[in-house]
Amino acid sequence: MKNLQLGKVLMTAGIASYIDEANFHKEVMDDLKRHTSGDWGCLSEEDKLVNDNALNNNERILSAYDTCHGSIWIITEWDRSVTTILFPSEY
């Protein structure tokens, strides 16, 4: 699989409030790399297949990962113009 194009990468205020913590920053950057390479994190097998299909069908892709501050989501929009990192509670 070729790497997913992220477009402009944004983060919500909740993510930004912790991003200066070295451990959290590293986790988020590692998770962003995982998202880019097609490792969708803590999703069901069905949701992972949906993401795999979305790569070829220009649909939105959502990944979920566990961090030291709880779960985060990384969402890349259908047109690959924007990727947002957020806590699920900020959706």
Where in the sequence is the domain holding 83, given as residue range(s)?
8-90
Contact 29, 37 (CB under 8 A): no
Residues 6+ apart with CB under 8 A from 13: 90
pLDDT (tens digit per residue) in 12-27: 999 999 999 999 999 9
Both tokens of 21, joined, read: 């913590």
Does residue 3 lie in a domain region? no
Specify the pLDDT at position 89: 97
Residue 71 in domain? yes
Q: Name the stretches of the chain with pLDDT < 50.
A: none
pLDDT at residue 26, as a whole number: 97
For residue 82, being part of any structural domain is answered with yes
In a domain, residue 1? The reply is: no
Structure tokens at 44: 């069901």
